[in-house]
Amino acid sequence: MSKILVTGATGTTGQQVVEALLAQGADIRLGVRTPSKVANFVERGAEAVVYDYDRPETLQEAMTGVDRVFLLTPFNEHSVELTKTAVQAAEAAGVSFVLKLSAVGADPEAPGGPGKSHGLAENVIKASNLAWTMLQPTFFQDNILNFQGASIKGQGHIYGASGEGKASFVSAGDIGRAAATILLNPEPHHGQSYVLTGPEAFNNQQVASMVGEIVGKPVTAINLTPEQYGEGMRANGASEWMIENMLVLEGIKAKGWAEAVSPAYTQITGQPGEHMFDYLSANKARLVA
Ligand SMILES: NC(=O)c1ccc[n+]([C@@H]2O[C@H](COP(=O)([O-])OP(=O)(O)OC[C@H]3O[C@@H](n4cnc5c(N)ncnc54)[C@H](OP(=O)(O)O)[C@@H]3O)[C@@H](O)[C@H]2O)c1
């Protein structure tokens, strides 16, 4: 059986990739900075290895003996350089296939934001000797819990600067299931880029209404100007890079550029995509104080 390395295995998406691979009995190695964080996965048969972009020598060690890699770079200003480092390590270690977690709208010609950096990183992989597939998810359903959970619980508010703009939010669970399907049988997916979305698009007020229905109390969306949104992030200690990139993302949502629904998840897995209401309902405990 081919060994698969999952990078970012402690994060929102990586954990879901691991769950889906373990459910299929795959032979997996988890690239992590802190092995104790994945003790539960190791008990269930995964192997853990230290993989730290800040210590590039760990990458080739982690990839030695691995055939396929789920490649995740953290959301920061170094993602293109990190991808170069990872690709060099993969080639040196004899990896044959990389599945990159990219983003919808990845385009090296984009004026800026995550679309541009993911587009440039995709090009690094495309120029390598590795076979590849790109997963290009839209906004995660999980963002509502991870980034709005505290204000939903504390104030009954969802904050944004995207107005009435809708996004076809996808669950990290679906990304994990699509990734596992591809990693277990990559050949039919070589050279393909898949936009992953949920089955329906929502704006922030519609998300707030859904959350309100689930938690049984009113939840409203507060629409900020980009300046107010940036100031709020700055007051919470966000870097200027993070503010700039988050404002690009809010702008994409505001313009309706993240509204389209893609059939790719169902084409890859044969299953319907997870609906946002079902995802939020299943995670109700994280939305109530
Ligand atoms: N959120 C969205 O709506 C969205 C939409 C489309 C695409 N994306 C893309 O998804 C990616 C982020 O995925 P995610 O949300 O699943 O990530 P996440 O939850 O933020 O987790 C980041 C992962 O990267 C690891 N990591 C951080 N720094 C590292 C380093 N120096 N060396 C090795 N590992 C490191 C973290 O490990 P530790 O546990 O050690 O910190 C963690 O496992 C980004 O590329 C982003 O552009 C996100």
- 77 CA → ligand 1 middle, Å: 12
Q: In angstroms, what CA-CA distances link 145 with 104, 232, 276?
A: 21, 19, 12
Question: What token pair was written down for 275?
Answer: 């609906």
Counting as low any pLDDT under 50, the low residues of the chain are: none
Rounded CA-CA distance 240/237 in Å is 9
Place of tokens 């790109």: 134
Name the CATH topology of 3-140+170-197+260-272: Rossmann fold (3.40.50)
* Residue 156 and residue 219 in contact, taking contact as beta carbons nearer than 8 Å: yes
* From 50, 54, 75, 81, mutation site for ligand 1 pocket: most ligand atoms within 8 A of C-beta: 75
Structure tokens at 160: 């944004």
Q: Is the CB of 72 under 6 A from ligand 1?
A: yes
Q: Could you tell me if 134 and 98 are in contact, meaning their C-beta atoms sit under 8 angstroms apart?
A: no
Which residue lies with its CA nearest to atom 47 of ligand 1?
75
**Ligand 1, pocket-test mutation among 13, 57, 80, most atoms within 8 A of CB:** 13
Closest to 195 (Cα-Cα) out of 256, 108, 257, 265: 265
Question: For residue 15, what pLDDT is reported?
Answer: 98
Give the closest residue to 276 by CA, choosing from 175, 200, 164, 217.
Answer: 200
Question: Edge-to-edge strand order for the sheet containing 97-101?
Answer: 47-50, 27-32, 3-7, 68-71, 97-101, 131-137, 192-196
Cα(73) to centroid of ligand 1, in Å? 6
d(CA 59, CA 49): 10
Residue with the smallest CA separation from ligand 1 atom 44 is: 75
Whole-number pLDDT of residue 289:
83
pLDDT tens-digit map of 204-234: 999 999 999 999 999 999 999 999 999 999 9
Cβ of 137 less than 6 Å from ligand 1: yes
Task: Return phi, psi of residue 192, to 5°.
Answer: -100, 145
Cα(126)–Cα(48) distance, integer angstroms: 28
Ligand 1 pocket: which of 5, 6, 7, 10 to mutate (most atoms <8 Å of CB)?
10
- What pLDDT was estimated at residue 1? 73
Adjacent-strand bridge partners of 180: none
- Decide if 70 contacts 17 (C-beta within 8 A): yes
- Yes or no: say if 228 and 236 are a contact pair by the CB < 8 Å rule: no
- State the distance from the centre of ligand 1 to the C-alpha of 75, rounded, in angstroms: 6
Q: Which letter, b or e, does each residue of 259-271 get, where b requires 16 or more Cβ atoms within 10 Å of its Cβ? A: beebebbeebbee
Nearest CA to ligand 1 atom 23: 8
For the record, the structure tokens of 246 come out as 């988050």
What are the structural domain ranges in the chain?
3-140+170-197+260-272
